[in-house]
Amino acid sequence: MTTVNTEKLSSARFAEATDAFVEVFTASVDFDQRMAQQDIQGSLAHAEMLAKIGILSAEELNDIKRGLTQIAEEIAGGDFNWSIKQEDVHMNIEARLTELIGVAGKKLHTGRSRNDQVATDIRLYLRSEIGTIEAQLTRLQNALLVLAEREADTIMPGFTHLQVAQPVTFGHHLMAWFEMLSRDRERLQDCCKRVNVMPLGAAALAGTSYPIDRQMTAELLGFSRPSNNSLDSVSDRDFAIEFCAAASLIMLHLSRFSEELILWSSAQFDFIDMPDAFCTGSSIMPQKKNPDVPELVRGKSGRVTGHLVSLLMLMKSQPLAYNKDNQEDKEPLFDTADTLINCLRAFADMMPNIRAKKDNMYQAAKQGYATATDLADYLVRKGMPFRDAHEVVGLAVRLGIETQRDLSEISLTELQQFSSQIGDDVFDILKLEGSVAARNHIGGTAPASVRAAIEAARAQLQGS
């Protein structure tokens, strides 16, 4: 619940009250209260440090700990009275702390500002969210490995320009998705290195005259180190922008996965059966089974990318140091994290329950002369220059089109009219199974290569 019945802690400077509309317009408590846990966490560490340097007595420190613990319980229980007049999460908690323990509550803000306080809270929040996102990424990658292993031998057409190109295995295709997510994980882990730097102690912009121990506070909060420059500490949100960029790439990948799932589940492709629990029907057409989850994820990718652009525009013209503009960083950041976590969760739950329609995939791979490149490679191995081999295969494909036959269905005599170098052994490579089996190397589509890739991927996940 949010009320407007408490006086501001910072109102002594002003001779008149804030306009009622402006008070609501400038307040952030409705959305930044979700950082209450991080705000309390930062305040507890700050209080420990203030006690060490003699600003707080042992009794005052205990009072602050007791008061903040009670506040945390009130917030968790939904009993905390949030006030718009206190503007934000920080002032609301400080006001309630002072109400509970008296003068000691007013001392807590010594040596810090809301500027470094909010920067610290955001970093603590984002560090936690990255951990949650990594866990969901791991779930999704493990789900892909389960499905890829199950379909390591399943032949399907591989596409370029959405035209049949060469045969691949479904397992190999799924492992391509796995690799995309692995890079996404690496970007998140690298981003977290820059998130995990502590701004607290930078105060408003210039540091503080108190003999604070920033290293101690950083260690208490689990940061890798304190930040190096007080101006930079409070004024930049590049770490949040970097996170949104990493999130946008993850959502871009999920959107591409979604597009393929949507196509494959259509009657025209009919490659997979989507689990009923992740689809919906039509209000008017009883036969419909709509792939709503992939469609929504595809749509939400634009939402996350929009948040990235929003934060880029937010920061692009700001002079040093802190500006009120930065209040606008939280809603896009919060929504990015929420959206990403939910989309990853949906995919991680859905992927193990997708069923491949193997016969349909196999027949589709036979329709586009997918082994044409294998025939060209065969002729090259016989000593024919590749460009000549390309011409020979083109003639063979034309015959197949004219007679509505796959290359493997054209007789040896007919093939030899294009090149006498073609022998009986050509049919080993013109079959789909022979084509995929021939690509047995690191990164190849052969079932043996796919299984080796899955084994390596499992070891990678276990070691991460």
Active site residues: 161, 282
Q: How far apart are CA 447 and CA 449, in angstroms?
A: 5
Element (H, E) at 83: strand 82-83
Task: Decide: helix, strand or coil at residue 226.
Answer: strand
CA dist 57 and 215 (Å) reads: 21
What single-letter DSSP state applies at residue 269? T
CA 77/CA 80 separation, integer angstroms:
8
Given 3-state DSSP classes, what are the helix, strand and coil percentages for the chain, each rounded to the nearest 5?
65, 5, 30
Q: Which residues have C-beta within 8 Å of that of residue 351, sequence separation ≥ 6? A: 140, 143, 144, 146, 147
Helices and strands in the chain, H and E counts: 20, 8
Question: Among residues 437, 457, 455, 456, which one has the least CA distance to residue 447?
Answer: 437
User: Environment class of residue 343 by beta-carbon count within 10 Å: exposed (0-12), middle (13-18) or buried (19+)?
Assistant: buried
**CA-based nearest residue to 371, from 157, 190, 53:** 157
CB 241 within 8 A of CB 249: no
Cα atoms in the 13 Å half-sphere on the side-chain side of 389 = 17
